[in-house]
Amino acid sequence: MAPGNSRSRSGAPWDARPAFDVLTALDTPAWAALLGLIDQLPTMHAGLGATLTGATSRIEITAFEFISENAQIQQVREFMQVLPDRLR
């Protein structure tokens, strides 16, 4: 959707998934983590932890957890804080 379109501003977050594809060139694990966070049933993809720790090992595309604990919310907050620096 175009930035000026009211539907894009009031639509469901998961409708924005295609706009995130540009991030794959910068940081694929962060991209996967963000897609999980904006999904209809938000999840913590293993890419979130990899982004926080700087891990370089292989991450399974199906590795995720449903967000159900306060500690996970804290990890999401930390991820969002470090993400701008990781994408530079």
Q: How confident is the model at residue 1 (pLDDT cuts 50, 70, 90)?
A: very low
Where does the pLDDT of residue 54 fall: very low under 50, low under 70, confident under 90, or very high at 90 and above? confident
Length of the chain: 88
The reported pTM is: 0.80
Which tokens belong to 27? 């940081």
Phi (first) and psi of residue 66, to 5 degrees: -75, 140
Sequence-ordered alpha helix ranges (H) in 1-88: 6-10, 28-37, 46-53, 70-86
Q: Is the pLDDT of residue 69 over 70?
A: yes
pLDDT in tens, 13-43: 999 999 999 999 999 999 999 999 999 999 9
* Burial environment of residue 37 by CB neighbours within 10 A (0 to 12, 13 to 18, 19 or more): middle
